Amino acid sequence: MWMARGRPIRRAKTTSKRTAASRRPSRKRRAPLAAPHARALVALAELARRERLRWYVFDAQAVNLLGYPRATADLDVTVDLGERDPAELVAALARAGFQPRYSDPELVVSSRVIPTTHRASGLPVDVVLAGPGLEQQFLDEVVVMELDGHPIPILSIENLIVTKLIAGRPKDLEDVRELVGRAGAKLDRAKVESVLVVVEDALATDELIPRFRSLRG
């Protein structure tokens, strides 16, 4: 979730004209997945279809799906509830085979994260509740991949790079380096920097754009 001092980070302005094709989520063939991750993603896709929820995969599994193999023992997704109560999603997750990993429901409300375990695979799955602003933009710009006939939305490579730069851990910065190197000229660097301008303003920092430029080569 991308929040600053209790307020959501607003959407970034687009830096280039969007075509009719760019307004539609793109579809790509999926990257190979470990069996637990694949089973959990299919279960989430079926849940999202039944409940008519927008969602996306982020963090390490999104890196995998974009073609850079990354070992990960869990799964992170963001879900847009709209006007619904988080308790409705918790109940729907339980029906879909996701066991909550918390004892105090108030923690979900305050942190906007629902820690679960996918019972069939034993995979830890953290479900982040999307807020207004930047996360809505991320939802609008997902890339959709197919997994056993199910659409799996993931962060676009530009937005994934932004989230990795915000996290700033050594493994995140290494992911940025690999993603930039693999994307090459296809990466919309101006788009990355336009989002980072907004994030820097919200977080009162001037470190993110220089960090990106140092990693992109």
Boundary residue ending a domain (133, 155, 177): 155
The answer to whether residue 187 is domain-embedded is yes
The answer to whether residue 95 is domain-embedded is yes
Radius of gyration of the chain from Cα atoms?
17
**Cβ count within 10 A of residue 193:** 19
User: In this predicted structure, what is the pLDDT of residue 32?
Assistant: 56
Q: Could you tell me the pLDDT band of residue 72, with boundaries at 50, 70 and 90?
A: confident
The answer to whether residue 23 is domain-embedded is no
Residue 153 has pLDDT above 70, yes or no: yes
Residues 148 and 163 in one domain: no
Closest CA to 109 of 82, 129, 135: 129
Residues 115 and 143 in one domain: yes
Q: Could you tell me the pLDDT band of residue 8, with boundaries at 50, 70 and 90?
A: low
Q: What is the mean pLDDT of the chain?
A: 86
Summarised one tens digit per residue, pLDDT across range 15-69 is 444 433 334 455 554 445 778 999 999 999 999 999 999 999 999 999 988 888 8
What pTM was computed for the model?
0.84
Residues 171 and 161 in one domain: yes
Residues 174 and 73 in one domain: no
Distance from the Cα of residue 63 to its chain's centroid: 10
> What are the residues facing 119 on neighbouring strands?
none
Range of the domain at 196: 157-217
Residues 109 and 143 in one domain: yes
Q: Could you tell me the pLDDT band of residue 182, with boundaries at 50, 70 and 90?
A: confident
Alpha-helical runs (H) found in the chain: 35-51, 59-65, 86-95, 105-111, 134-140, 157-167, 170-183, 189-203, 208-216
Query: Taking a C-beta distance cutoff of 8 angstroms, is the pair 127, 79 a contact?
Result: yes
User: In this predicted structure, what is the pLDDT of residue 179?
Assistant: 93
Summarised one tens digit per residue, pLDDT across range 77-128 is 999 998 899 989 999 999 999 999 987 777 777 788 999 999 999 999 999 9
Residue 73 has pLDDT above 60, yes or no: yes
Residue 192 has pLDDT above 70, yes or no: yes
Residues 94 and 54 in one domain: yes
Per the structure, the count of domains in the chain is: 2
User: In this predicted structure, what is the pLDDT of residue 217?
Assistant: 61
Sign of the Cα torsion 183, 185, 190, 193 reads positive
Residues 46 and 134 in one domain: yes
Query: Taking a C-beta distance cutoff of 8 angstroms, is the pair 59, 161 a contact?
Result: no
Residues 135 and 212 in one domain: no
Closest CA to 9 of 209, 203, 211: 203
